[in-house]
Structures are given as C-alpha cells and as structure tokens.
C-alpha cells in the first residue's frame, strides 16, 4: 500500500448527517509531480490523478495510518474504524489536482484525537496522508520532473483511506501546491482575518457614521459577508474624508497675501487682499493702491492651484450643493402663488430657500371630521356653498 503525505487546508463549516454533527473541511490530497511516499519518490501524472476521483468518495478518514504488527493494513475494517475512524471523504474531484471535502464526525474526532478537532475549529493547517494502492511502472533511467528525479510512475490508483497526522510534516507542502492557500479564495482569507469582534466594530462604525444605516439594520448587516462589510466601511471612510476636506475648504484658505472665504450666497469663493503686517515698533504700512493690488482670483483659478484630490472633493461638494439649490428653486417657482423670480431666489442662501420651499407647499383643505351636508341643502344655497378661501402668502412683499 502506497502512503502519500499532503496537507489539509482551508476553512471549515458544520453539517449534520444521519443525526450526527460533522465538521467539514476542504482537502487537497494529491498534486501532479514527484512526491515522496512510503515507497520513495514516485511521479504522479495529472492524467492518472484525473482517471477516477470518484473512487475516493466515502473513503474512511482515520487518525494516523492503521498498523498491525508493524505492517500497514487496510482501514476498511470494523476494528480499525472503531479505534481510529473519525469521518469520511466526499465530493472528490480532479481539476489538475485531487481535492475533496473531509467530513469529520465531531464526537468521534474529539474522542479519538482532540488535537485534530481543535485544529479544525481554529482553522489551523493539518497534515494528511493518502492510503492507496498503486501500480508502480519503472521510469526511464535518469527521469526527472520539474528538476526532481524519480524511478517509478504511479498508475491505477485504488484508494483505501485518508489518514490525518496531527504531529507529522507532510511531504506535499504549500510550495508543492498542497496547503492552506490552495483551495481558499481571497474572500475566504478576508473572512479569516476578521474576527467576530472586528465584525461588530465594523457594524458599529457604519451605523454611527452613515445615515443610510440605523440600529434596526444591525441584524441585516451581521448577515453580510466580511468582504461586503469591508467594502461598505471603506466607502463610508472615503465619504467622511471627502466631507472633512469640503468642510475645511468652506472655512477658507490663504494664499500668499490673499485670503479666500466661501460665499454661500454666490456659491463661490470671495478673494480679499490682506493688509501687510507692520514690523515691531513700526506703524502699519498703508495698503497699496488699488491699482497695484493683485486681481482677486476666481473660484476656478483658485481651484486649479489646489491639489487634484482637493479639487475633486470641492467640485463634487459644489455640484451637490448646486443640484440641491436647483431642486429648491424649481419647487418654489412651480407654486402658482410664488411671486419671486429665479434670479431673486438664486441670490438667497440655501437655508432661506429651504424655508421658503417649506412655506410654498400648497395646503389642500382637509374636511375630515366635518359634519355631513344637510339633506335638504340646495346647490344655490349661499350658506352651504360659501367656503372661505385659504390664506395665501404675499411673496412679493417678502422679497422686498
């Protein structure tokens, strides 16, 4: 019987089968190449690995290879399974290498060798060794594969069992293609890196810093993958950074002898020449003649001198501000009672527009709770049909 040592890799999940609880972990059992087994260096061709992967399904998983009187024996025996059996192999497939899932009976694994169960629960790498029979075909003299010499080619694999080796090193290492990264994708690596505490902190951050999430959304957020939560957090952090830069820009900048202050009404920066500072013991020098004063820079000119990152954030903020103001002006001018022109509205700041828009909403009469009309009321009865008009706002006077 040929023994080939490799690694158990990847994340685990829990399943139930036949009323028993299993811990399921992905396996990489054989990779093409020259591998060292109990019979020395053998070459395992890819086409041989791909011949019959399904033969591995339902093979027993045992703790260590079964040995009797110093000789390796088959694990497919009641006495061996009762002593060393901890699970089964399922889902075997060959896609350039032989992979499968190991279904570890939680109760049996803990009883046979608790180290194996602890390693699986913690996601730690374990070594495994395939127990299989092979027909070893003599190779040509001096045969090598990828720089490794071999004397035989292993063919016609007939599996017997899969052994887990909690304290031995596998011959098929990560470098050979059998390891924790072989069948673990990027999203799985991210999931491993984020602990439960990290996930809670991420959700707390999203609820606290993004108006799109509330406390009631916590359960839904907990159901998202760590990869999606990480993306949401990164996007929220980016938005917060942009807002911080935009707020800093609105407070004003100084460039040489010119100060820039954001004008909310105009929607642009106002430039003002700063008076020169007097030296100690001297009077404040007079401000230079206006003709000699540098021409104030326009918003566009000033933005061009800023770093590209700040230009992007400020322009985006200004665009959002303009879009909101346009909506407010449109809502106000659409009201039939409005007397203000677009030009007048555009000269107002955003808070004034919001206040006027709130007042400009037409209020429809609500007759809820009113008494029903009298049965003998006539259409020409003035007392019945005379409805007081709704009060209106004299917009023209407000603008003045």
CA dist., res. 358 & res. 331, Å (int): 9
Q: For tokens 């002006």, name the residue.
A: 329
Distance between alpha carbon 192 and the CA centroid of its chain, in Å?
Answer: 13
Summarised one tens digit per residue, pLDDT across range 140-196 is 998 999 888 999 999 999 999 998 988 887 656 545 655 333 454 444 444 555 456
Whether residue 119 is predicted with pLDDT greater than 70 in this model: the reply is: yes
Burial 64-77 (b: 16+ CB within 10 A, else e): bbbeeeeebbebbe
Residue 164: CB atoms within 10 A of its CB come to 28
Residue 34: CB atoms within 10 A of its CB come to 21
CA dist., res. 132 & res. 29, Å (int): 11
CA dist., res. 315 & res. 99, Å (int): 53
| Encoded tokens for 266 | 């105009």
Half-sphere exposure of 120 (CA within 13 A, CB side): 29
Whether residue 122 is predicted with pLDDT greater than 70 in this model: the reply is: yes
Q: What are the DSSP E strand ranges found in the chain?
A: 2-8, 13-17, 20-30, 33-37, 40-44, 60-63, 67-68, 71-72, 85-94, 98-105, 126-138, 144-145, 148-149, 152-165, 253-255, 258-263, 268-273
User: Which distant-in-sequence residues (6+ apart) come within 8 Å of 372 by Cβ?
Assistant: none
User: Which distant-in-sequence residues (6+ apart) come within 8 Å of 275 by Cβ?
Assistant: 284, 287
Nearest alpha-carbon partner for 86 in 53, 119, 54: 119
User: Would you call 341 helix, strand, or coil by DSSP?
Assistant: coil
pTM to 2 decimals? 0.46
| Encoded tokens for 232 | 């949401």
Predicted pLDDT at 180: 30
Q: For tokens 């090598």, name the residue.
A: 144
CA dist., res. 78 & res. 361, Å (int): 84
**Residue spans per domain, the chain:** 2-184, 193-235, 252-305, 311-363+390-400
Residue 23: CB atoms within 10 A of its CB come to 21
The mean predicted confidence, pLDDT, of the chain is 77
Is the Cβ–Cβ distance between 171 and 62 less than 8 Å?
Answer: no
Helix and strand element counts for the chain (H, E): 14, 17
Summarised one tens digit per residue, pLDDT across range 32-51 is 988 876 677 889 999 999 99
Provide mean pLDDT across the span 204-213: 85
Predicted pLDDT at 124: 79
Predicted pLDDT at 109: 96
Predicted pLDDT at 252: 64
Predicted pLDDT at 171: 59
23: pLDDT confidence band, cut at 50, 70 and 90? very high
| Encoded tokens for 398 | 């407000």
Summarised one tens digit per residue, pLDDT across range 384-394 is 455 555 555 55
Predicted pLDDT at 291: 52
CA dist., res. 143 & res. 135, Å (int): 18
């Amino acid at each position: 019987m040929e023994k080939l040592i490799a690694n158990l890799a990847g994340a685990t999940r829990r399943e139930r089968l036949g009323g028993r609880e299993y811990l399921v972990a992905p396996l990489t059992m054989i990779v093409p190449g020259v591998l060292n087994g109990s019979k020395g260096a053998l070459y395992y061709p890819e086409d041989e690995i791909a011949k019959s992967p399904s033969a591995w399904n339902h093979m027993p998983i045992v703790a260590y290879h079964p040995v009797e009187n110093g000789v390796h024996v088959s694990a497919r025996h009641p006495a061996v399974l009762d002593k060393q059996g901890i699970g089964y192999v399922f889902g075997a497939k060959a896609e350039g290498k032989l992979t499968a899932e190991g279904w570890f009976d939680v109760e049996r694994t803990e009883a046979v060798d608790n180290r194996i169960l602890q390693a699986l629960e913690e996601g730690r790498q374990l070594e495994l060794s395939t127990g299989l029979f092979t027909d070893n075909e003599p190779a040509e003299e001096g045969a090598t594969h990828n720089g490794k010499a071999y004397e035989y080619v292993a063919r016609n694999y007939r599996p017997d069992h899969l052994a887990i080796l909690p304290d031995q090193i596998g011959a098929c290492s990560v470098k050979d293609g059998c390891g924790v990264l072989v069948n673990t994708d990027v999203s799985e690596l991210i999931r491993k890196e984020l602990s439960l505490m990290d996930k809670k902190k991420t959700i707390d951050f999203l609820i606290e810093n993004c108006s799109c999430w509330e406390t009631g959304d916590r359960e839904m957020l907990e159901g998202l993958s760590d990869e999606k939560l990480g993306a949401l957090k990164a996007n929220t952090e980016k938005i917060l950074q942009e807002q911080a830069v935009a707020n800093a820009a609105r407070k004003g900048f100084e460039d040489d002898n010119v100060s820039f202050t954001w004008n909310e009404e105009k929607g642009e920066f106002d430039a003002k020449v700063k008076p020169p500072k007097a030296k100690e013991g001297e009077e404040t020098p007079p401000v230079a003649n206006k003709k000699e004063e540098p021409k104030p820079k326009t918003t566009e000119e000033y933005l061009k001198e800023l770093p590209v990152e700040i230009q992007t954030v400020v322009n985006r903020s200004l665009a959002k501000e303009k879009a909101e103001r346009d909506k407010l002006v449109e809502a106000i001018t659409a009201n039939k009672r409005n007397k203000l022109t677009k030009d007048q509205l555009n000269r107002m700041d955003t808070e004034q527009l919001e206040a006027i828009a709130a007042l400009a909403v037409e209020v429809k009469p609500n007759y809820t709770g009113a008494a029903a009309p009298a049965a003998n009321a006539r259409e020409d009865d003035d007392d019945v049909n005379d409805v007081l008009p709704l009060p209106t706002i004299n917009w023209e006077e407000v603008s003045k």
